Amino acid sequence: MYKVAKKHESQALEADALHFSTDIWSSAVVLIGLTGAAFNFHYADPIAALIVAMIVLTVSYRLGKKSFDALLDKAPAGLHERVEEIVKNILEVKQFHDIKVRESGPNKFVDINIHVDKNMTIDHAHEISHKVEEAIITKIKNVKVMVHTEPDN
């Protein structure tokens, strides 16, 4: 389930996979605690309870952080840098700025301002903005791109 969650970038499936793995680990720890208690190791049960509590707290923190980041539309790590690298390789773009990246569910959104030669036609500037958009779309999965074109001074 975790592989499918990563493949489809589904936070709900990832949370479900985490829930299942937590159940398995917790059950294993409880089983070990009960086995220890059956052999008169009386501290096995409280130790197992503490370990289960630590597992639950750790998983809750991880899941809560991911959910909080999703609610804030936090950008995936490294996405800003990837966009910069892609745009740097487009020779017609003189400079770029105000890159804004965010994520909502499986989709990523990129807004970018580019500067092109101020003497070129509007049609040519429009072609360059499409070139930037296509370059980003082909190299980053599930992305929507908005390019604002400005004349370079």
Q: From CA 109, how far away is CA 68, in angstroms rounded?
A: 18
- How much is the pLDDT for 16? 83
- How much is the pLDDT for 123? 93
Name the β-bridge partners of 146: 111
Name the β-bridge partners of 101: 110
Mapped to the 3 state alphabet, what secondary structure does 125-148 carry?
A: HHHHHHHHHHHHHHHCCCEEEEEE
- How much is the pLDDT for 32? 92
String of DSSP letters for 7-31: HHT-HHHHHHHHHHHHHHHHHHHHH
Report pLDDT digits (tens) over 118-133: 999 999 999 999 999 9
Q: From CA 129, how far away is CA 124, in angstroms rounded?
A: 9
- How much is the pLDDT for 104? 80
Tokens found for residue 65: 């952080």
Q: Residue 119: how many CA atoms within 13 Å on its side-chain side? A: 0
- How much is the pLDDT for 60? 87
DSSP three-state, residue 33: helix
User: Can you list the residues of the chain whose pLDDT is less than 70?
Assistant: none
- How much is the pLDDT for 10? 75
